[in-house]
Amino acid sequence: MIKSKYHAGIFVGGSKVVHFRPERNLKSIAETSSNLDDPTSNPCPTFPDCGFRQLNSGVVLSCLDCFLRNGSLYCFEYEVSSSVFLTRIRGGTCTTASSDPSETVIHRAMYLLQNGFGNYDVFQNNCEDFALYCKTGLLIQDSQGVGRSGQASSIIGAPLAAMISSPLKLLMPSPVGVATVTAGMYCMSRYATDIGVRSDVIKVPVEDLAVNLGWNGPQEEVAENETSDRQITTT
């Protein structure tokens, strides 16, 4: 997995990245572009296939430059020790889970580019969840829980840690002591939701992902719509 400051994706070679974005963001980008057939107005004239995605899917193929958008490149770390994980104050930088071989990771990313990754949700199904699944093949069985990413657990963990530690201000007058306890609670909440230590995860082949999650890929949706149209026409 590679990351810009706020976004994660899978590098698939040839300066190309497969990543997952909210569909509304993709629509706004398309609306601000004038004529994509005109090289002078194309947002990425260097790579003609940059921005490729299937209809009704948030999984996109972009060149590395467009993915970064002048930001910095970071490499997400896998199979880190528990002690290293707990020292990382910022979420979404590492996991204790191990990564699968590169060819398996790229196969998952390219398969999802053609078949979709469901609906984007900042808490349960975001860009980092997409990249983590491509890298590990691990899926959380509880669909109501927090997503697989450190991004989601950080969003929830920080306010939760602050709320829990607030009563300690009455018992612990030192601001340093309160800050230390809050930081510890925050790190532990991230660790407890890390996909590498959770007990409610299973390894799911990418071909079976839609079945496990009840998603319909873009091609399946088109086929269903065509079937409905034929039924309406013949009735």
For residue 94, how many other CB atoms are within 10 A of its CB?
21
DSSP 85-108: HHH--SSSSB-SSPPPPHHHHHHH
Q: How far apart are CA 133 and CA 80, in angstroms?
A: 17
Q: Is 153 helix (H, G, I), strand (E, B) or coil?
A: helix
Residue found under tokens 């569909």: 23
Of the CA atoms within 13 Å of residue 150, those in its CB half-sphere come to 26
Q: How far apart are CA 149 and CA 93, in angstroms?
A: 10
Q: Is 19 a catalytic residue?
A: yes
Catalytic residue among 19, 50, 134, 187: 19
Q: How far apart are CA 110 and CA 115, in angstroms?
A: 9
Catalytic residue among 7, 50, 94, 187: 7
Catalytic residue among 50, 127, 134, 187: 127
Q: Is 107 a catalytic residue?
A: no
Q: Is 7 a catalytic residue?
A: yes
- Residues annotated as catalytic are 7, 19, 127
